[in-house]
Amino acid sequence: MSDLLDHRVRHAWTPGGAAAVHLPPKAVRRLAERIGPLRAGAAVARESDLAVPESALPPAASADLAEVVGAEHVLTDRVARLGRCGGLSYLDLLRRRLPGELPVPDAVLLPGDPEQVQRVLEACARHDLAVVPFGGGTSVVGGVTAARGGKHAVVVLDLRRLNRLVSVDPVSRLAVFQAGVRGPEAERLLAAHGLTLGHVPQSFERATIGGFAATRSAGQASAGYGRFEDMVEGVRLATPRGEWRLGVAPASAAGPDLRELAVGSEGALGVLTEVTVRVRPLPAVERFEGFVLDGWERGTAAVRELAQAGALADVTRLSDADETEISLTLKGGGRTALLRRYLRARGVAEPCLLVLGWHGGTRREIGGRRARTVRMLRAAGAVRLGRSAGEAWRAGRFAGPRQRDALLDLGLCVETLETATHWSTLSRLRTEVRAALVDSLRAPGRSPVVMCHVSHAYETGASLYFTVLLPRDDADPVGQWVRAKRAACQAIAGSGSPLGTISHHHAVGADHAPYLAGEIGEIGISVLAAAKRAVDPTGILNPGTLLREQ
């Protein structure tokens, strides 16, 4: 179990870190020409340089918790605590690469079933301990930062032992999972029943069912399978007040849908111990394909038309010209130059790659859907690249975090952020967020590249996902990104009324909590605060996440 989560891993995505990917030297040279000089072999602090204070878990609390989960599942050693000090954002990784103090929890608890989770919360409430629910620990918004919130100590509740498929109801197409099941394991367990969830975010390998629900996650095939909240039929939630179960029917008019309070609650309103999910038949056939549109405006207009006509492929992902260019650059290779020449010959001045993927029961079924989509794309002026471009994307769909490890080792600042808005505001929002990032990050010898894609489209609007690359400012690497992220969030929050949501799928965490009131209003904040008081009267659950510390 520890292979996926120890102190060595937590400054990178994989134990091998950058060794897990190969960036061709030509690609590194071209990148440096574009953004400024890169420094191979940027130093990483030794584990012994990371400051880990003594655990402040009171002995009486430790004894009570050991009584619930077993002494061997109350971990206070340095490695276990370092391994759960935060998520996997650029700043999380950076802080673990630099010498210094980290928000290390006082203990890590490994409960074995929902009943133990419930009893752990009751014990933590008695001893006034802050509790951070921890699934895969892939949060990129400070959602698993071990904040004490004025409590005696802070414990991380690692849900990895809640790893069972509890039941499957193939007639109703429902499955009940314990919260700590990771993405690949969930799919493996469902495949044995001929079923799938179809939820494949880029963090799939590490993230868990509970984490997906707690953050309203969106997977790469969201156009086909929906966002994770669309898949949640019911929840079992442990709270300091007692256990809360929700979801007895597919739809209900019995008042407001309180499941929505659990989905997206980010560990601040309870610990999801089981989630009942809607499942689908496992697709027998998949087909991926690439197209190119000339320019962002034409590209987004084409995706909007598909979304509004109900003709989106299950995976629909449009990259802007910068993202298309940089992803081709990072692949290196002679075929890339050939492709550039081909597109120029076809009159495409500003290539924007559109990847489409269909899942279905039969070739015929996919063929019918695909034919309609391709007809509409042809009418929109798309150039078809063929299956190899789509398959190349599929083959590398989980490469992003490994590539990030390699780019971090080259001394880069590399981070992503995301939002969503209505179609009529989409271009303005992209322009303003890009400008905020570029203005904040530009410096002599450093030119940021800000790339963008749409990977989740709806009838009324779409998400925007930005990736930023530039040489790290070694004098103040943390401040460099903190200022840029703040500028981007302020652009999204707008002045007066928001241009978009502060998060389409990464959630609020601690990082976006200051912007939540701008989106849901002070009334919204007080409704959430009242809900929190109702389930967590002493405020032990995930202090500072979702709601700012009062």
Ligand X SMILES: Cc1cc2nc3c(=O)[nH]c(=O)nc-3n(C[C@H](O)[C@H](O)[C@H](O)COP(=O)(O)OP(=O)(O)OC[C@H]3O[C@@H](n4cnc5c(N)ncnc54)[C@H](O)[C@@H]3O)c2cc1C
> Least separation, in Å, of the C-beta of 457 and ligand X?
15
CA distances from 303 to 170, 268, 300, 311, 454 (A): 34, 36, 5, 9, 9
- Which residue's CB is nearer to ligand X, number 214 or number 231? 214
d(CA 440, CA 486): 9
CA distances from 328 to 124, 204, 229, 297, 379 (A): 51, 24, 34, 21, 26
d(CA 120, CA 239): 10
- Which residue's CB is nearer to ligand X, number 519 or number 536? 536
> Least separation, in Å, of the C-beta of 379 and ligand X?
30
- The helix/strand count (H/E) of the chain reads as 19, 20
**Does the annotation count 465 as an active-site position?**
yes
Residue that is written with structure tokens 């076809």 in the block: 346
62 annotated to a ligand binding site: no
133 annotated to a ligand binding site: yes
DSSP type of residue 158: E
288 annotated to a ligand binding site: no
> Least separation, in Å, of the C-beta of 121 and ligand X?
11
Per-residue burial over 424-433, b if 16 or more Cβ lie within 10 Å, else e, is ebbeebbebb
DSSP type of residue 508: -
- Which residue's CB is nearer to ligand X, number 134 or number 481? 134
- Which residue's CB is nearer to ligand X, number 87 or number 448? 87
Query: How far is CA 280 from its chain centroid?
Result: 23
Q: How would you classify residue 448: left for phi > 0, otherwise alpha for psi between -120 and 50, otherwise beta?
A: beta
> Least separation, in Å, of the C-beta of 506 and ligand X?
5
Q: How would you classify residue 181: left for phi > 0, otherwise alpha for psi between -120 and 50, otherwise beta?
A: beta
138 annotated to a ligand binding site: yes
> Least separation, in Å, of the C-beta of 147 and ligand X?
11
**90, 342, 458, 465: the active-site residue:** 465
135 annotated to a ligand binding site: yes
**Residues ≥6 apart with Cβ < 8 Å to 11:** 17, 44, 93, 96, 97
Q: Which amino acid is present at 487? A: A
167 annotated to a ligand binding site: no
Residue that is written with structure tokens 């010959």 in the block: 345
- Which residue's CB is nearer to ligand X, number 222 or number 336? 222
137 annotated to a ligand binding site: yes
- Which residue's CB is nearer to ligand X, number 62 or number 503? 503
CA distances from 52 to 75, 82, 133 (A): 14, 7, 20
Which tokens go with 16? 């091998």
> Least separation, in Å, of the C-beta of 372 and ligand X?
27
Which tokens go with 57? 């878990």
Q: Dihedral angle at the C-alpha atoms of 101, 117, 207, 73, nearest 10 degrees? A: 60
- Which residue's CB is nearer to ligand X, number 27 or number 88? 88
Contact residues toward ligand X (CB under 6 A) are 87-88, 132-140, 143-144, 159, 179, 201-203, 207-208, 210-212, 214-215, 217-218, 266-267, 271-272, 400-401, 505-507, 542, 545
Q: Which residue is nearest to ligand X (CB)?
A: 211
Residue that is written with structure tokens 């309609």 in the block: 372
**Residues ≥6 apart with Cβ < 8 Å to 332:** 23, 24, 25, 26, 27
φ, ψ for residue 157, nearest 5 deg: -100, 95
* Cα diameter, the chain: 74
134 annotated to a ligand binding site: yes
> Least separation, in Å, of the C-beta of 202 and ligand X?
4
d(CA 93, CA 356): 32
Binding-site residue positions for substrate: 404
User: Which residues are marked as active site?
Assistant: 465
Which parts are annotated binding residues for FAD? 133-139
Can you say which residues are annotated as belonging to the binding site? 133-139, 404
